[in-house]
């Protein structure tokens, strides 16, 4: 039998793939034109649920409740949706090789397929401590979180070790959100990270101090500064403690590691132009090969508002880049043009009763307002980042949807600021001028 051929192939079964599939259907997809290859066992889902609602002590999120595209207010796309739309959804199918010149791909099982247009949407994977030679890092009881199987394993561990001790290694997104989840499930939580404060890629020291104080108020112990140098295990090979470079040893029944992610570039490595740790694309997510598109975490794309080439690792960009790539593909087929991707960077997090949103770029001086006395869950405060007299980024904790939209608008407008002191005094009311 000859190789099966598809007009369009998406490799990767995450958020970007699900939103791209929806856009293909919206654009008039014919049955049998599109195939999606996913290493996961389930249809594309909203990945942020894994570090939030999936671990809720009551009413925990479960599939099919958070299949894409519910994250943007759309309808769920369970497996039968793909069948109904004539899309071949190859689950549990690891793609081991892509040949760009031959327009073919091969699965780990040795089955080959051909394509006319490829969209690579494999995203990133977590960085493992064992990769940097940390002793004991492969012990049982040490968890990472990226896909639903890993979430299920952590749920089982939390139930088995109820009221036990959990150590979270890392103070970024995963660390902050999972520390809250573990705490809400009754575990005694210790966070360990080498940086001077949490979320250092985004937060200022002032912002971080609020969240660290809030977490400590929930009973979470925070150890800032020491590096994790190893793990102690019991006779069965299960982790029992985390060793730090200051000589201390922290008991642990469960360890969750969140120390960064790395883009999965192997399938196209050496075949299209690479940049910023991913693949260089134009404003339509087209690579140096016109038949290959790259979206989500892997795309080093022109960020128009900052005149820069960036990779953005976030679900919002994954959704929007998947949609834009499909729109560009279909427009090119019809000899039409669409605007280039014009993205406003956006990040958010929810933990405990807290909820923040950030727009733009955190460069320049952070001007924080409303932090005085902000210690309760209902506190509302924010930060504007100002560089060369212009607002570059805007952050808001505890905002309403309308207030968050105002902050997005002010970050997009990049207005001039006459006085940082006046901006601090104005606080949220400054953003009210931008609708």
Indicate which CATH number applies to the domain containing 32. Answer: 3.50.50.60
In a domain, 321, yes or no: yes
Q: In this structure, are 109 and 156 located in the same domain?
A: no
In a domain, 252, yes or no: yes
Q: In this structure, are 99 and 12 located in the same domain?
A: yes
Q: In this structure, are 305 and 418 located in the same domain?
A: no
- The whole-number pLDDT of residue 379 equals 75
Q: In this structure, are 307 and 358 located in the same domain?
A: no
Which residues have a Cβ under 8 Å from the Cβ of 430 and sit 6 or more positions away? 384, 410, 423
- The whole-number pLDDT of residue 433 equals 86
Taking only the tens place, the pLDDT of each residue in 25-46 is: 999 999 999 999 999 999 999 9
The last residue of one of the domains, among 333, 366, 390, is: 333
Q: In this structure, are 147 and 254 located in the same domain?
A: yes
In a domain, 345, yes or no: no
- For 5-21, what is the mean pLDDT? 98
Nearest CA to 411 out of 290, 277, 249, 303 is that of: 303
**Is the pLDDT score of 7 beyond 60?**
yes
In whole angstroms, how far apart are CA 125 and each of 128, 150, 226, 298, 309? 9, 12, 25, 11, 22
In a domain, 347, yes or no: no
Q: Please count the structural domains in the chain.
A: 3
% of the chain exceeding 70 in pLDDT = 98
The last residue of one of the domains, among 276, 301, 333, is: 333
Taking only the tens place, the pLDDT of each residue in 331-365 is: 999 999 999 999 999 999 999 999 999 999 999 99
Find out whether 295 and 117 touch, Cβ atoms under 8 Å: no
Q: In this structure, are 400 and 279 located in the same domain?
A: no
In a domain, 40, yes or no: yes
CATH number for the domain harbouring residue 401: 3.30.390.30
In a domain, 341, yes or no: no
Q: In this structure, are 289 and 408 located in the same domain?
A: no
In a domain, 342, yes or no: no
Q: In this structure, are 143 and 219 located in the same domain?
A: yes
Domain ranges, residue 138: 129-259
Q: In this structure, are 148 and 199 located in the same domain?
A: yes
Query: In which band, very low, low, confident or very high, does the pLDDT at 212 lie, cut at 50, 70 and 90?
Result: very high
**Is the pLDDT score of 65 beyond 60?**
yes
pTM of the model: 0.95
Q: In this structure, are 140 and 242 located in the same domain?
A: yes
Q: In this structure, are 249 and 135 located in the same domain?
A: yes
**Is the pLDDT score of 394 beyond 90?**
yes
Q: In this structure, are 133 and 253 located in the same domain?
A: yes
The last residue of one of the domains, among 212, 234, 259, is: 259
In a domain, 340, yes or no: no
**Is the pLDDT score of 1 beyond 70?**
no
Taking only the tens place, the pLDDT of each residue in 76-127 is: 999 999 999 999 999 999 999 999 999 999 999 999 999 999 999 999 999 9
Tokens matching residue 138: 């492969």
- For 379-406, what is the mean pLDDT? 95
**Is the pLDDT score of 160 beyond 90?**
yes
- The whole-number pLDDT of residue 145 equals 95
In whole angstroms, how far apart are CA 165 and each of 23, 113, 124? 45, 48, 29
């Amino acid at each position: 039998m000859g190789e099966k051929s598809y007009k369009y192939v998406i490799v990767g079964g995450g958020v970007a793939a699900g939103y791209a599939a929806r856009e293909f259907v919206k654009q008039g997809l014919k049955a049998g034109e599109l195939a999606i290859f996913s290493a996961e066992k389930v249809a594309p889902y909203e990945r942020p649920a894994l570090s939030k609602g999936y671990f809720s002590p009551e009413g925990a999120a479960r599939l099919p409740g958070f299949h894409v595209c519910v994250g943007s207010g759309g309808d769920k796309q369970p497996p039968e949706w793909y069948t109904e739309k004539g899309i071949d959804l190859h689950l549990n199918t690891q793609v081991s090789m892509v040949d760009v010149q031959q327009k073919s791909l091969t699965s780990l099982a040795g089955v080959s397929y051909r394509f006319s247009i490829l969209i690579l949407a494999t995203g990133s994977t977590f960085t493992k401590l064992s990769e940097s030679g940390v002793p004991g890092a492969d012990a049982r009881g040490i968890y990472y979180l990226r896909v639903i199987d890993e979430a299920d394993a952590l749920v089982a561990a939390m139930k088995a070790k109820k009221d036990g001790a959990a150590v979270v290694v890392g103070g970024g997104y995963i660390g902050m959100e999972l520390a809250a989840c573990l705490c809400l499930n009754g575990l005694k939580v210790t966070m360990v990270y080498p940086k001077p404060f949490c979320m250092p890629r985004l937060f200022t020291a002032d912002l971080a101090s609020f969240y660290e104080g809030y977490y400590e108020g929930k009973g979470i112990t925070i150890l800032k500064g020491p590096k994790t140098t190893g793990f102690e295990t019991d006779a069965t090979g299960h982790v029992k403690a985390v060793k730090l470079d200051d000589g201390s040893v922290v008991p642990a029944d469960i360890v969750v590691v969140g120390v960064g992610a790395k883009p999965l570039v192997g399938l196209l490595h050496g075949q299209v132009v690479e940049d910023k740790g991913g693949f260089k694309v134009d404003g339509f997510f087209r690579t140096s090969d016109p038949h290959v598109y790259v979206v989500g975490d892997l795309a080093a794309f022109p960020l128009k508002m900052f005149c820069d080439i960036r990779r953005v690792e976030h679900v919002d960009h994954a959704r929007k880049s998947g949609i834009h790539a499909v729109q560009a593909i279909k427009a090119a087929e019809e000899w039409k043009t669409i605007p280039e991707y014009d993205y406003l960077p956006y990040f958010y997090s929810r933990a405990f009763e807290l909820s923040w949103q950030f727009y733009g770029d955190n460069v320049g001086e952070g001007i924080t307002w409303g932090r005085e006395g902000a210690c309760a869950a209902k506190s509302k405060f924010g930060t504007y980042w100002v560089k060369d007299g212009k607002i570059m980024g805007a952050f808001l904790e505890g905002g309403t949807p309308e207030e968050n939209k105002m902050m997005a608008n002010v970050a997009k407008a990049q207005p001039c600021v006459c006085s940082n002191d006046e901006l601090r005094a104005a606080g949220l009311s400054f953003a009210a001028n931008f609708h």
